[in-house]
Structure 1
Amino acid sequence: MESSLIANALQVNFDSVLTFPEEGMVKMFKALESTGLRSFLGCPSVLYEQDLEQFFSVAFVRENEVSSSVQGKFVGIFEEKFVGAFELSIAGLIDMTEVPKDLVYDARCIFSASGEPVKTFCKKREMKFEFRLLNYILAKSVTVKAGSFDAVTHERFLLMTAIHFGLKINWIKILFDIFKEMVTKSSKQAKGFAAQICVLLKGAPNLTLGEAKNFPPLKILTVKTVGTFPPSINDGMYDDATRMHGLAHIIEGVMHVGNLYTLFTLAVSWLELPLMLAHIIGDIKGTVYRDSTLMGHLDT
């Protein structure tokens, strides 16, 4: 239970990823932020693993509420709590088949790595790296799918299209329905939303949670951790996306070495100062001595 919850989790550090040096990546993350998922994907990353295990082991759906027991106390989570905790939109698209056809066609060209229109069900390597990453984020953190992400599903392609073009999406309805599927025993929906559920449990009244652990750093998406994706997910994406970033690091490194060299030079110069002063004083004394001797000779 614990491993699957962590495996199907991915947080986004928006403050970091919005500084990405590649323009396409920044536009993708801004679109993801603008759609209303910043508070959901970027919520506090603290895990209460034992409490999560308890929560899922006895959770069930009652009407429009997910009910469970943690530390021997009743816990109820309903849509309004999701809205309040993560500032999710309550209006917009629910059925992605309603995404306008002309936008879908445009997306087939925009998402394509080759410039040729891709199918709405395609291999991820056929898309530009920023849209491969968007597909990965949605699969891990929104629709919560376990397993391989080599293929982009038709449903996820439509969702990516809606996000890219800034269409309003009813995230509370979509996410809460997925949440309910997670606790439905007969459902094949993978379990996830680990960090988000922990936020809700921590805010529950009269509930004291157990040991808290920091979210695994490699499960938090930043400019640096993009390159830690496994080859089956990355597939050269990071190499393209961080070419400029790597160059920036090289320049930064050179500047750092230059600064160290400057500091070293200053330190050496400071240490040599007494010796230099001694030489100067010696030269002055020598000059005075020579001048006085010369004056003596002239006087005579």
Structure 2
Amino acid sequence: MDDQGMVSMFQGLMASGLTGFLGCPAVIYEDSLVDFFENASVRDGVIISTVAGQLVEISEEWFAESFDLPVGGLGDLSAIPKDVIFYARSIVSLSGEPVSLSGGKNQMKIEFRLLCDIMAKAISVKAGSFNAITVEKFSLMTAIVCGVQMNWAIILFRTFKKMVTPGTKQAKGYAVQISLMLENIPNLDLGESSEFPASKILTDKTVHRFVSLNDKAGAEEATGEPKPKAASKKRRAADVGAAVAKKKRTTKKRVSLSKVNLDWMVVAQESVPIQMIEGSTAPAADDTVDQPAAVDVFSADRPAEEIDRIDVRPRAHNR
């Protein structure tokens, strides 16, 4: 590689003794892996499981021999001296100031961002954000950067046991490594194999892709430009109101008879008493039906021609 910082980081990774663990053949047995984790448990420090109905036992010694892991040195990450960790915080820093152990990996140089991903995904295999720096991940990085001798057999096998322990927030990992160990068990039917995803294997191509993606993300953070958000397909209430005109509801009020406006009624100023008079009993010449009696509402002194023009039919009150 042309990047001297990236080359130096990989050289330190190889010198740590993790080459055998990280350089396994990229073949996995998915069905057997599922079977292994479903039936696995820890008994007396040994991982026991059944695969295709056959008993499988993995001890720490066999695990260390399979990948030629160092068995000498510090067996706990918390045993790394504090001054060494502080020194590493300045070495990996992008700005020169010691990185914060509660911040993000964008504080670090590009080669150490990649190292952080390797430690998080291939060594620690913890569930959670891979972009955040934690004390555990930075301690792993410090051991590589500063060349601290570690007992990787104990550290990695401890993580392996957490994977098969119920109730722990530990992701299931080591797929390639477990597949390689299962291949060494005689007469074990593993089923069909599949290649490990090429995008997860570090090659010159994938490393350059990692650099380009991180450079782009760093440029966006430096300019402060917000990431474009995808347009929402949901229509706002204002848009819906503009597109569909709202209809006003009208109600008709029923008027009660008890609340009729009395001003509409016609009230006579003076009342005239109705006088009943006897009608003529003589029938008409050509009429065989009795005629109703005539009603005179005026005085007898009134002229007959005026009486003939008066409509004496009863009038109904306006309501």
Q: 2:190 aligns with which of 180, 205, 209?
A: 209
2:59 is aligned to: 78
Higher RCO by CA contacts (8 Å cutoff, separation 6 or greater): 1
Q: CA deviation at 1:228?
A: 4.4
User: Structure 1 pair 193/238, CA: closer, same or farther in 2 (3 Å)?
Assistant: farther
User: What count of residue pairs does the alignment treat as equivalent?
Assistant: 219
Structure 2 distance, partners of 1:227, 1:60, is 40
Does the CA contact (< 8 Å) of 2:126 and 2:169 recur in 1?
no
Structure 1 distance, partners of 2:75, 2:59, is 18
Structure 1 distance, partners of 2:203, 2:175, is 19
1:236 is aligned to: 215
The 5 A counterparts of 1:1-300 are 20-229=1-210, 234-236=213-215
Q: TM-score, normalized by length of structure 2? A: 0.65
Structure 1 distance, partners of 2:60, 2:215, is 39
Structure 1 distance, partners of 2:101, 2:81, is 13
Q: Which structure has greater helix proportion?
A: 1
User: Structure 1 pair 102/147, CA: closer, same or farther in 2 (3 Å)?
Assistant: closer
1:197 aligned partner, one-letter code = I
Report the aligned-residue RMSD.
2.0
Q: SS in structure 1 opposite 2:48? A: strand
Question: Where do 5+ consecutive residues of structure 1 fail to align?
Answer: 1-19, 241-300
Structure 2 distance, partners of 1:238, 1:41, is 27
Structure 1 distance, partners of 2:94, 2:19, is 27
User: Structure 1 pair 170/130, CA: closer, same or farther in 2 (3 Å)?
Assistant: same
Q: Percent identity?
A: 50
Does the CA contact (< 8 Å) of 1:124 and 1:132 recur in 2?
yes
Structure 1 distance, partners of 2:140, 2:217, is 23
User: Structure 1 pair 210/230, CA: closer, same or farther in 2 (3 Å)?
Assistant: farther
2:316 is aligned to: none
Q: SS in structure 1 opposite 2:204? A: coil
1:134 aligned partner, one-letter code = L
Q: Deviations over 1:84-127 (max 9, x none)?
A: 11000111112222222322222111111011222233211110
> After the TM superposition, which segments of 4 or more aligned residues of structure 1 sit over 6 Å from their partners?
237-240
Q: CA deviation at 1:229?
A: 4.8
Structure 1 distance, partners of 2:55, 2:199, is 33
